[in-house]
Homo-oligomer: A and B are copies of this chain.
Amino acid sequence: MAVTIKDVAQRAGVSHPTVSRALRGDSSVTLETTTRIQQIARELGYIPSAAARSLKTNRTRVVGVLVHRVSDPFYSRVIDGIQDTLHPNAYSIFLASTNNDRTRQAEIIRAMTERRVDGLILCSMFITPEYFREIQARGASVILLHNRAAKITPFTLYHNDRYGARQMTRHLLELGHTRIAFLGNTRAGRESAERLKGFKQELDAAGMTPNPRYIVHAAFGQPPAAAEPIQALLALAEPPTALVCFNDSLAIGALQVLHNAGKRVPQDWSVTGFDNITIAEFMNPPLTTFDQPKYSLGAQAANLLLRLMESPGTDDSTWNIPSLRGEILVRGSTAPPPH
């Protein structure tokens, strides 16, 4: 069908191994022959078959990336970072989204295994240790990003949830707030639990005991999910004056609910987000949030994976796993409490 290496060989009057070597820049081929073969290959529009090459070399130069949803504003930035790092290294990316569906995740990993990806970046919550080991046994390098069970492998990159939550809480304490609420995300599991833990720790450190009524949870991590828990907070006899949200999307949902209830942010309520998604600074008011280095996170994960794929088998924890802390960004959605 398509033009193969043999076509080029025939046209050049050489054997196909010579063409193979010439195009790969093997120095054992005469410079003259090399340039002639390259010329002919270009004329014929020869493009080698990755499938055939992979079959022989046992490497695909493909990396699989798994997220729960591509349109998630957090992960889409992570993917940008992965893309920009892997592309210059001539790797292609299989991207798939699980939709938080275990069955679908299994199908995807199966497909990626059939395709013999060299590496895998998994941003899923559903990776068990056994699962991880099975994938690894098949020869693929694996990086976990943001995983619930962070102890499966040393090759896990995750932001410091507890640290971030403490930063946000401290900021509100420093502004003078005493009635501070926390809005978690049920679906985020460990991640949400960690941030709640940080929230409580910081209150403890300030000598305050967290009010259990101020700890509420959204069913998932998108703006509409904020409505119900925020209504509950508003209905309290003594509502809070500040709110630490699990992420920016929920904070944005909270802003809207508060606005509709006639509450002004930040005069009546202070609200903080988490992640610093692109849109956060363009909200009205601009969102005070914890800036996660999303792009860098993706880039670092990709870099780590590249190193791992180059030197497989070194499962030592002697590796220097970068840890990305992030930082607080104070914007317009927080202020001292009223009166």
Q: Which residues of the partner chain B approach A87 to less than 8 Å between Cβ atoms?
A: 96, 104, 107-108
Q: What is the minimal beta-carbon distance from A277 to any residue of chain B, in angstroms?
A: 9
Contact across chains for A55 and B58 when beta carbons are under 8 A apart: no
What residue of chain B has the Cβ atom nearest to residue A56's Cβ? B51
CB under 8 Å from chain B, chain A span 201-235? 222-223
Q: Does A47 contact B (CB under 8 A)?
A: yes
Q: Which residues of the partner chain B approach A187 to less than 8 Å between Cβ atoms?
A: none
Q: Which residues of the partner chain B approach A2 to less than 8 Å between Cβ atoms?
A: 138-139
Q: Does A162 contact B (CB under 8 A)?
A: no
Q: Does A271 contact B (CB under 8 A)?
A: no
How far is B77's CA from A110's CA once the two chains are assembled, in angstroms?
Answer: 25
Contact across chains for B47 and A55 when beta carbons are under 8 A apart: no
Q: Does A94 contact B (CB under 8 A)?
A: yes
Q: Does A171 contact B (CB under 8 A)?
A: no
Q: Does A164 contact B (CB under 8 A)?
A: no
Stretch at the interface among A36-44, A113-121, A302-310: A113-121
Q: What is the minimal beta-carbon distance from A329 to any residue of chain B, in angstroms?
A: 16
What residue of chain B has the Cβ atom nearest to residue A115's Cβ? B50
Do A58 and B255 form a contact, CB below 8 Å, given A71-B76, A92-B115? no
What residue of chain B has the Cβ atom nearest to residue A226's Cβ? B282
Q: Which residues of the partner chain B approach A52 to less than 8 Å between Cβ atoms?
A: 51, 55
Contact across chains for A114 and B49 when beta carbons are under 8 A apart: yes
What does the 1/0 interface line of A65-93 toward B look like (CB < 8 Å)?
00001110100110110011001001011
CB under 8 Å from chain B, chain A span 1-33? 1-2
How far is B62's CA from A61's CA once the two chains are assembled, in angstroms?
Answer: 15
Q: What is the minimal beta-carbon distance from A34 to any residue of chain B, in angstroms?
A: 20
What residue of chain B has the Cβ atom nearest to residue A252's Cβ? B282
How far is B50's CA from A51's CA once the two chains are assembled, in angstroms?
Answer: 8
Q: What is the minimal beta-carbon distance from A333 to any residue of chain B, in angstroms?
A: 11
Residue from A1, A51, A71, A256 whose CB has the most chain B CB atoms within 10 Å:
A71
- A77 is contacted by which of B62, B71, B278 (Cβ under 8 Å)? B71
CB under 8 Å from chain B, chain A span 148-206? none
How far is B96's CA from A90's CA once the two chains are assembled, in angstroms?
Answer: 12
22 A-B contacts, Cβ less than 8 Å apart?
A47-B138, A49-B55, A49-B114, A50-B51, A51-B54, A55-B55, A71-B77, A71-B79, A83-B96, A83-B97, A84-B99, A87-B104, A87-B107, A90-B111, A92-B112, A93-B94, A223-B282, A252-B279, A255-B282, A255-B284, A256-B282, A256-B286
- Name the 9 nearest CB pairs between A and B, nearest first: A95-B95, A71-B76, A51-B54, A284-B284, A51-B51, A50-B114, A50-B115, A70-B79, A223-B282
